Structure 1
Amino acid sequence: MSPLLRTVNRVLLGLAGLLLICGGGAVLAAGLGLSVPSWWPWHGGDDVLLGAADRVRRRDEDWWWPAVIAALAAAVVLALWWLLAQARRARLAEVLVDSGDGEGALLRGRALETALADEAAALGGVARARVALTGRRDAPRAAVWLLLEPHATPHEALGRLTDEALAHARDSAGLAALPAEVRLGAVGHRPERVS
């Protein structure tokens, strides 16, 4: 997901959440008999959402209630789709490998992630490494997390990751490029008393 879409998604989720919290809070306040603004349509626990006059007003129009139900059903389906889109994994399931015959082959994304993480963890000064592939299967991107040993130099570890592990992964998969975002951390350990 691009940064712009991610930002739009977060803004829309925030606005929907704020609207639901404010509306639900106002309905709850009115139902409990607390003070609500004068423009609020419901003022007590005995008020109903649709009064008898509102329910029978459109009785002669056959299209009205099916249209309301269809709109509400569409809103529920859209909300469920949005919820499932939030839970969807952003990891790449497979990578398209150039097999040299013009056809290509598919490599499991987890296999490439594991190979890249193992090679990165074997680099000097790296305690642990994790890798996640994102993007499209013909243009993957790598998100790499390196946990460095206390004696490691971040510049050297990043250089070796780029020149060795990422280059090997890119070449073995036959990719033109393998852009990567690397996050570095340091192993924390307790200080020892020296006598």
Structure 2
Amino acid sequence: MRWRHSRRSAAGLTLRAHWFVDESIAAELTFDRVPALPQGDPFDNRQQGAALAAVRAAGAAALCAEAVGVMEAAFELTTSFAMTRQQFGKPLGANQAYRHQIAEMAVALETCRSAAAMVAQEVASGEYNGMDLLRAKLLVGLHGRALCQQAVQLHGGIGVTEEYKVGHCLRRMFVIDQMFGDGEWLRRNSLID
């Protein structure tokens, strides 16, 4: 079911803007007797449910793709830092433990990239599996947060400064993970095996 949009100044429509922890903006819209004209049968519950499910699926797939982009940025910043930052006359990346942590980050990134690509293709085709979407969301949430936390850790003190980008990646990943339910919520509500 589609509804025509209402003007922002329409009587009964209120908008409350707020900021997320990553400094992105969001808004809460409240409709109180706002006139709207239906585009379709307003009594067809199946059509309404399908439209709502499609919007949720597209949103979840888009968040998975964005999460992969954030993970890529954090990974690239970390690998670049590992090759340029010198300690005791050698790059940090020469340290075997450091390389192992970067390898684990690479595995997490590739896992999430595959999951996000799969659900994006499914949603684009219109033949998506809800459980696949939830699993992908769980994967990018858990692995994305872990990767970004590891990136901040491997950067040391500079990783938590406002001026350095890797901290912004972590904050954005926290916001992405919370949208449509985070991994812990999905587990508690038995939506994921």
Q: RCO (CA 8 Å, sep 6+): is it higher in 1 or 2? A: 2
TM range (shorter): under 0.3
Structure of greater Rg: 1
Q: Whose helix fraction is larger, Structure 1's or Structure 2's?
A: 2
Higher strand share: 1
Q: Output the TM-score relative to the length of structure 1.
A: 0.24
TM-score between the two structures when normalised by the length of structure 2: 0.24
